[in-house]
Structure 1
Amino acid sequence: MSNAQLILLDKRNQPLKDYLVAVAASDGLTLRGVEIMASPAKGETALLKGQVLIPPLEAYDFDLKKLLDATLATIQLEEDTVVSVDQFIERASEDDAVREALKRSLPRLRQALEKLLKEFVKNEAVELIRQRRIDALYKLKQLNDELKGKNIVCIDIEATDVSTKPEADIIQVSICDADGNEVLNQLINPGYDIPENEKHNITTEMVADAPYATQAWDAIHNALLNADIVLAYSTESDFAYLENTASKKQLPFELDYNTWLDVAELARDLIGAMRWHSERMYWFFKTPKLTDAYEKIVAEPFPGDAHDALDDARATMTLFKAMLEKGRASDVAPKPKKEKKKAEPVSNNLLAMAFAQAKQKAKS
């Protein structure tokens, strides 16, 4: 009878860091110094060792059983070789008696791994992430009710440079309605050769016969003015493009930023990865790319061209509606308000304090 067993080797020499838990929550984690070993007997050379991979915690709802099963399904042997625990046992030995002994020790390995995973799911960083998601769902639930019957459009803009550059000019504006129907899709001629840019595929030749911003402005401006709510994936940049264009070209500008709603911010709070800013010493949530947010929340491949304004506007609208549905279907409730404690009288005079307390009791 074999004495072989599966052992969890934990050679870490320091406690688990919060920032590592945050990384594991979104991306999973290769936990250095923690391995699974197939040991033939005490003191003998290991039959096989494998690296423990912590799966993305949030993808498994921070559920210990799901995480445990996922961890045992992904043991890393080499850089490109990942096996399940059953395959790990098969590779460890060709001896049936050894394999059976390894299988019998599996419950103990599960217990050890469960204890390890508890370090992650019980960490304070996980509670911060959970609360952010709850707050996001509650906000979406509110928006789902508040926006019923509203005229909602979605805009996306392509430009020659980022919105923070004063010289940046609009070269495409696309607007769709709540059903994804085209409201406006206009190429704009900036009046000069368009520099190469990885963020769009628009060339100088494509806009040669397109109107200038001054000629297309009324149609763009009016389409947005007629809407109750304007969506964008990063409202700040799209609004800035329009505001700067109006300022440079001396065009009318009556758009109200308070009626704009940033879908990127909603996606950030719902699925964005939490990270620790080591220099400024605070937690923050990363804003996902539109394509990533779409594929994760809508659970479908991103449609169309990610560098075309109309495709992006339609995708943003679809994403927004999918998020609203998640909010509507959730059973989240607002956080209960904490009752404010009555301020205790503060005094260095003990006699005055006693008198104040007696007076308070008399009132109640």
Structure 2
Amino acid sequence: MSNAQLILIDKRNQPLKEYIVAVAASDGLNIKGVEIMASPAKGETSLLNAQVIIPPLEQHDFNLKKLVKETLKAVSVKDEIMDIDTFIERCSEDETVRAALKRSVPKLSKKIEELLKEFLDSEVIPLILERRNDALYKLKEHAQELKGKKIVCIDIEATNISTDPDADIIQLSACDGDGKELFNQLINPGYDIPENEKHNITTEMVVNEPLLAQVWDQIHDTLRDADVVLAYSTESDFMYLEKSAEKKMLRFELDYNTWLDVAELSRDLNGAIRWHSERMYWFYKTPKLTDAYEKVLGKPFPGDAHDALADAQATVDLFNAMLDKGRKSQIGEKKKPKQVKQEITNNPFAAAFANAKRS
């Protein structure tokens, strides 16, 4: 009978940092120094070692049992990912050794459970849960407020970023709240379009298309007459329109107060939490439209990610799916969680300094 067993080796020499928990919460994590060792017998050389990969905590509802199971589904041996059964097969061709290693899996699971519990006991976890609950509550409110409203979702492609005063619109597209196309217009800026990895629009594609001034009234009035205008980053799209109107002396009667930013809602519901080491506060990263879409709807992003109409329609689909999550959630005014302090740090002096800056 073999004495082989799986042992969790933890060579970390410092306590778990909160910012590491934040990374693990959204992205998962390879922890340096934490390995599974297949030991043939006490004092003998390891048969094989595997790196432990912490799965994304939030993706598995911060559930300890689920996370242990997922951890054992994906260990890393020289950058090759495999489950624990495959790892055991790689360790030895001797069936008695394999059988002994399999018998030790429950004990290994307990050790991994202890490791993961360190992450789940972190103050970062309630901070994330609070943010998600607040996002669901806000979405539930929007679902009520927007019933019967005329919704238009817009997306813009341009020659450069919106903060560039020389940037010009080269595609303007919009759909209604059900994703039905309202307009999808390529725009000739009046000069050769510079190469840009943000879109696939070329000079040849717009050479016979109208100038912005020629189609402005229809586009402007469609947006003006909407009860709510959606966009994935309203600030940049509104800026493109406002600056274009000013530069080309076009009338401008759009009210930013009627615009609703789907990117902000997505950030609160899906964004990865991170620690800003210089300013010493937590912030949430806004996910890309493609990532948010695939996470919330659970299917691949449709069409071209840099086509204005495809992006507008995907934004509406994402928005409606998030509204549905809010509508179905059990979050209510009386059930909102108690506020959790936003500043979390392992350094009490840093926390005090951060508080002083905000006071």
TM-score (norm 1): 0.90
Which secondary structure state, in structure 2, belongs to the residue aligned with residue 82 of structure 1?
strand
The number of residue pairs the alignment matches comes to 337
1:150-161 to 2 correspondences below 5 Å: 150-161=149-160
Task: Report the equivalent of 2:27.
Answer: 27
Q: Deviations over 1:52-82 (max 9, x none)?
A: 1111111111110110001111111111x22
Q: Which moved more, 1:198-207 or 1:30-39?
A: 198-207
Distance 1:50 1:144 in 2: 47
Q: CA RMSD in A?
A: 1.4
**Match for residue 132 of structure 2?**
133
Query: Aligned letter for 2:19?
Result: Y
- Offset at 1:298? 1.3
C-alpha deviations, 1:26-73, integer Å up to 9, x for none? 111111101111112221111221111111111111110110001111
Larger radius of gyration: 1
Between the aligned partners of 2:135 and 2:196, the Cα distance in structure 1 is 34
Shift of 1:93: 2.2
- CA deviations on 1:202-251 (whole Å, 9 max, x unpaired) are 11222222222222111111000110000000000000001001111222
- Cα pair 2:133 2:337 within 8 Å, conserved: no
- For residues 148-179 of structure 1, what are the alpha-carbon distances to aligned partners after superposition, in whole Å with 9 as ceiling and x for unaligned? 00000100011111000111111111111112
CA contact (8 A) 2:173 2:312 kept: yes
Q: Residue in 2 aligned with 1:8?
A: 8
Alignment-derived partner of residue 37 in structure 1: 37
Q: Give the corresponding residue for 1:341.
A: none
Number of the residue aligned with 1:343:
none
Give the 3-state SS of the residue equivalent to 2:260 in structure 1: strand
**Structure 2 contact 27–55 (Cα < 8 Å) conserved:** yes
**Which piece of structure 1 moves more, 232-241 or 14-23?**
14-23
Task: Tell me which moved more, 36-45 or 238-247.
Answer: 36-45
- Contact 2:130–2:337 (CA<8 Å) still a contact in 1? no
Distance 1:31 1:204, change over 3 A: same
Deviation at 1:104, TM superposition (A): 2.2
Measured against aligned partners, the alpha-carbon deviations of 1:93-149 in whole angstroms (never above 9, x if no partner) come to 222332222222222111111000001111111211111111111111110001000
Letter in 2 for 1:100: A
Structure 2 length normalisation: TM-score?
0.91
Match of 2:349 in 1: none
Worse-matched range after superposition: 128-137 or 206-215: 206-215
Aligned partners of 2:22, 2:171: CA distance in 1, in Å? 38
Could you tell me which residue of structure 1 aligns to residue 169 of structure 2? 170
CA distance in 1, matches of 2:38, 2:311: 51
In the aligned structure 2, how far is the partner of 1:93 from the partner of 1:169? 64
Q: Alignment partner of 1:223: what SS?
A: helix
SS for the counterpart of 1:116 is helix
Q: Deviations over 1:305-354 (max 9, x none)?
A: 1111111111111111011011111111232689xxxxxxxxxxxxxxxx
1:233 aligns with 2:217: no
Divergent runs of 4+, >3 A? none
Q: Which residue of 1 aligns with 2:348?
A: none
Equivalence for 1:354: none
Q: Deviations over 1:257-282 (max 9, x none)?
A: 01000011111111111111111111
- Matched with 2:328 is 329
- 1-structure distance, mates of 2:174, 2:308: 8
Greater RCO, 1 or 2 (C-alpha within 8 Å, sep 6+): 2
Percent sequence identity is 69
Kindly tell me: are residues 55 and 170 of structure 1, through their superposed partners in 2, closer, same or farther at Cα, counting changes over 3 Å?
Answer: same
Distance in 2 (CA, whole Å) between partners of 1:294 and 1:67 is 24
Instruction: Give the deviation of 1:9 after TM superposition.
Output: 0.6
Question: What is aligned with 1:49?
Answer: 49
In structure 2, distance between residues paired with 1:7 and 1:337: 40
**SS of the residue 1:253 aligns to:** coil
Q: Within the alignment, does 1:193 sit opposite 2:192 as a pair?
A: yes
Which consecutive unaligned segments of at least 5 residues does structure 2 have? Answer: 340-359
Name 2:354's counterpart in structure 1: none
Q: 1:242 to 1:283 in 2, by over 3 A?
A: same
* Higher mean C-alpha displacement, 83-92 vs 244-253: 83-92
Which whole-Å CA distance do the structure 1 matches of 2:263 and 2:338 have between them?
A: 28
Structure 1 pair 205/98, CA: closer, same or farther in 2 (3 Å)? closer
Cα distance in 1 for partners of 2:186, 2:39 equals 67
Q: Assess if the C-alpha contact under 8 Å between 2:155 and 2:231 holds in 1.
A: yes
- In structure 1, the gaps of 5 or more residues are 339-364
CA distance in 1, matches of 2:337, 2:97: 56
1:295 deviates by: 1.1
Tell me the distance in 1 between the aligned counterparts of 2:206 and 2:40: 72
Partner of 1:207: 206
